[in-house]
Chains A and B, each alone.
Chain A
């Protein structure tokens, strides 16, 4: 006991390095190593465009110097730095698979026990008051809720799968591929808080006294009772799309808050504020009904979604194709080859599959 008190007293003095090390450990898990060569190329390109503008503003007194400089620049451009300065001909890597931990089944971690959901581990689930319906691909938390021991549940959905969970308050959550939801088997306290990574569609049970809060690494959504889609696979692609009711979104730091209306989509920008615009909400909710649905969406975004679902990389050898906008609908239960065949029928590009990558020519 005395040791413990001593430890507590000393903690503020010499615990700093441990805190640094732990934050570093989790940062490296959450953020992949930067691709240094790609960064260097991008940096070079930026420098080059700056240099061009500078040349224009040099006065005529240095005319001969400029001519010489331009000649050298042309020379370098043609002979040495072509590969360096021009990224136009380089393939554009639009999506990379995560690799490594690619479990193929839905898993549920309940307290300290982990179970694979598609199986028969019903008894373990029952301890947390959960009923599994493997056929309908869902878990329902119901029954003697008030007596069940409170346990944290972490539901992980792999690629090519969706899954539904009905929380203890009746809130329905459809989870998209490569997503994870963390929630208690029953809610206690004045708020209902869950944590999400990836994408999920929420149909929140109405309860004015007990707001429902979804947290992600990037943002937080607070609601009373409503339907919305939350997509947060990466920092540059964090969206909250509202179908019914009203929600308030805020960034992770709570420095920026915004209320949105049905039919609106709030996207978090890199400076931690929200851009709100009217959208076709179908696009953000059709996935839970088993479709890919894109209306006037760029080719790069479509292929990224396919890449995430089928867990394949996406490489554009034809960079110009990336921004082409398309209307495209497909069945999520079909194979990747089928989706690719359909895209090829549009005849704007040619796509083929090789080494677990979609390559766009």
Chain B
């Protein structure tokens, strides 16, 4: 029931080093800040209860898997349809596995947006952040769904090209 201080330190190290990254991972899937924090709270509770068996080398994989299960489960129960394909979830998991990846690629998005300018930024935000469908974005902006699609496809292409240039 009571754990030695060394466990407490070990736990805190894991918590502070990983919380932010794991929060965005959960948020990416569920799209709700409070729900993401609840999921993290549950998973860290389980981690704390098993802290004596936790190995630092494998803890990240364990946390990521748990979050993914819980987040997808939340979508299934509350949102009725799971919006993400297996491939997408796999890609997201790889992306959030270490923080350096995120920082580097976020910069590419910034570069891409500055190249394309409005209204691509608004379109991408509505489609990828608010998860509005092409037709919904089209209606808000008073353009055709085909135009929305073209903007998005171009953005994805430019992003890939920027990435290939860096390599």
Contact between chains at A20 and B91 (CB < 8 Å):
yes
Contact between chains at B20 and A36 (CB < 8 Å):
yes
Q: For residue B129, which residues in chain A have a CB less than 8 angstroms away from its CB?
A: 23, 26-27, 30, 217
Bound CA span A250–B125, Å:
20
Contact between chains at A33 and B20 (CB < 8 Å):
yes
Contact between chains at B95 and A21 (CB < 8 Å):
yes
If A7-B153, A28-B106, A217-B130 touch, whether A17 touches B91 (CB-CB below 8 Å) is yes
* 10 tightest Cβ-Cβ pairs between the two chains A and B: A26-B129, A25-B109, A270-B34, A16-B91, A23-B128, A18-B156, A21-B105, A18-B159, A36-B19, A22-B128
If A27-B27, A235-B32 touch, whether A189 touches B78 (CB-CB below 8 Å) is no
Number of interface residues of A (CB under 8 A): 58
CB distance from A64 to the nearest CB of B (A): 14
- Nearest chain B residue, comparing its CB with the CB of A72: B2
In the complex, whether A59 has a CB less than 8 A from a CB of chain B is no
Bound CA span A7–B144, Å:
20
Number of interface residues of B (CB under 8 A): 55
Q: Which of A25, A73, A150 has the most CB of B within 10 A?
A: A25
Of B2, B16, B102, B142, the contact of A69 (CB 8 Å cutoff): B2
- Nearest chain A residue, comparing its CB with the CB of B157: A7
If A21-B106, A23-B129, A28-B24 touch, whether A51 touches B1 (CB-CB below 8 Å) is yes
In the complex, whether A90 has a CB less than 8 A from a CB of chain B is no
Q: For residue B153, which residues in chain A have a CB less than 8 angstroms away from its CB?
A: 7-8, 11
Bound CA span A46–B15, Å:
15
Residues A48-91 near B (CB distance < 8 A): 51, 54-55, 69, 72-73, 80
Q: Which of the 9-residue segments A37-45, A138-146, A286-294, A323-331 touches chain B?
A: A37-45
* Main secondary structure on B side of the interface with A: helix
CB distance from A180 to the nearest CB of B (A): 11
Residues A106-126 near B (CB distance < 8 A): 109, 111-112
Of A24, A30, A72, A236, the contact of B95 (CB 8 Å cutoff): A24
Bound CA span A33–B16, Å:
13
In the complex, whether A239 has a CB less than 8 A from a CB of chain B is no
If A19-B128, A27-B28, A236-B34 touch, whether A195 touches B140 (CB-CB below 8 Å) is yes
Bound CA span A8–B142, Å:
24
Known: A26-B128, A73-B2. 15 other contacts (CB 8 A): A8-B153, A18-B155, A21-B95, A21-B106, A24-B95, A31-B33, A39-B37, A40-B19, A46-B45, A112-B117, A191-B139, A217-B129, A235-B32, A255-B80, A270-B34
Contact between chains at A112 and B118 (CB < 8 Å):
yes
If A23-B28, A28-B106, A193-B140 touch, whether A253 touches B79 (CB-CB below 8 Å) is yes
Residues B1-45 near A (CB distance < 8 A): 1-2, 5, 12, 15-16, 19-20, 23-24, 27-28, 32-35, 37, 40-41, 44-45
Bound CA span A236–B78, Å:
18
